Copies of this chain bind each other. A is one copy, B any other.
């Protein structure tokens, strides 16, 4: 039996115990974990130094090194994340439906933990703490498989968190780290049907595609966002500009940032040049359709590939469309069903857009940057699902649960 399988089976055994714990027992453990991170932060920072040195040695970019780096502030923020999870309501045990049938059967549908959750992620060591906290709060065992860049950091973080579990009701085996950077360890996870109940990938496009294409274990797909903002002919100019600029530049590296701006031809004729100038001053490169390039002379030409590219950068593709129908058709063809926005004062156009655009989150007169578990009021987020099964859009704690029917009878037979 491979190491990966035996590690996951330990998690599975622990999941039975974990599923029966009270909210108080789980919250106690989360607070112990937060305290241990603070108390043992020197050991974590020392381990993180080893990763940073290896990263520098390998020529890792400064921005990646920055994501990887830990310091007392960042460790405090990881600990604070755990304390915030303590404050959230525990969805496990909630009754979702109940009914008494004519034959007297009393049927209740309740929330239960999923069981064992696999998380495959990249460099940021804060995901290690965050995912562990969210899974344990929902009564799930977790098998974490972090990226090679954070090997030492993750190893030490898990040691510290496990030491905290010793004085809690949570079995130590509920928290597992596969600290093997080889591709083989991921491939092994993909085969663990019946051991892992779900795999959630968190990271870039190629990581997510590898999981979606190769896992035999069910996957919750997260991530890719080719998000659009459509400025209608009946948009308020100041609102349209504020929303478009915010959606593009407030944080271009994230999945809910805008990648393509669609502009009604009537709006474009009057106002696109001004918006283009504002974007230029914010260092945004514009790649436009031919009509756009007539209005914005410095725009580069967008090619077919641009319309489906998630730049995650200060680059924006711009297309001029004849009407809301053409905007919707473009989004259906090139979008990733993540977050889409219409800016308009015309309520018919808004309703049509909101109804017909098929995406996890569709906005009328607000920036796509709000697609986020915290902004939606969930108090936490394990990721943003871009698939249609189980969970769609930002996933809070309930997305980490399954359900179970409990049926009380008094001898009913069929």
Contact = CB atoms under 8 A, between A and B. Distances in A.
Given A218-B218, A403-B392, A407-B362, A414 B198 contact: no
A377 B99 contact: yes
B362 A406 contact: yes
A324 to B, nearest CB: 14
Interface in A363-414: 363-367, 369-371, 375-377, 387-390, 392-393, 402-414
Interface string A4-15: 000000000000
A193 B386 CA distance: 13
B216 A212 contact: yes
A130 interface: no
Interface string A97-126: 001010001010100101100000000000
A337 to B, nearest CB: 9
Interface in A319-363: 332, 354-356, 358-363
A366 to B, nearest CB: 3
A93 B31 CA distance: 41
Max chain B Cβ within 10 angstroms of own Cβ: one of A115, A243, A366, A406:
A366
A32 interface: no
A246 interface: yes
A374 B34 CA distance: 48
20 contacts: A16-B356, A99-B376, A109-B393, A115-B358, A198-B389, A218-B218, A218-B219, A242-B413, A243-B411, A246-B414, A250-B413, A358-B404, A363-B407, A363-B409, A364-B407, A365-B410, A367-B413, A371-B405, A392-B403, A393-B405
Contacts of A216: 212-213
B361 A20 contact: no
Contact of A389 (B16, B99, B390): B390
In this complex, the member of A216, A362, A390, A407 whose beta carbon has the largest number of chain B beta carbons within 10 angstroms is A407
A410 to B, nearest CB: 6
A19 interface: yes
A187 to B, nearest CB: 15
Interface in A184-221: 193, 197-198, 212-213, 216, 218-220
Nearest to A356: B20
Contacts of A412: 365-367, 370
A410 B239 CA distance: 8
Quick one: which of A16, A105, A332, A362 has the most chain B CB within 10 A?
A: A105
A236 interface: yes
Interface string A24-68: 000000000000000000000000000000000000000000000
Nearest to A407: B363
Contact of A20 (B355, B364, B392, B408): B355
Among A365, A367, A414, which residue has the most Cβ atoms of chain B within 10 A? A414
A219 to B, nearest CB: 8
A365 B414 contact: no
Nearest to A350: B408
Contacts of A359: 404
Contacts of A367: 412-414
Nearest to A99: B377
Contacts of A99: 376-377
Contact of A360 (B20, B198, B388, B404): B404
Contact of A239 (B406, B408, B411): B411
A85 B247 CA distance: 43
A370 B407 contact: yes
Contacts of A356: 16, 20
B242 A414 contact: no
Contact of A243 (B332, B366, B407, B413): B413
A101 B375 contact: yes
Contacts of A363: 407, 409
Return the 6 tightest CB-CB contacts between A and B, nearest first.
A366-B409, A246-B413, A388-B402, A390-B390, A369-B414, A239-B411
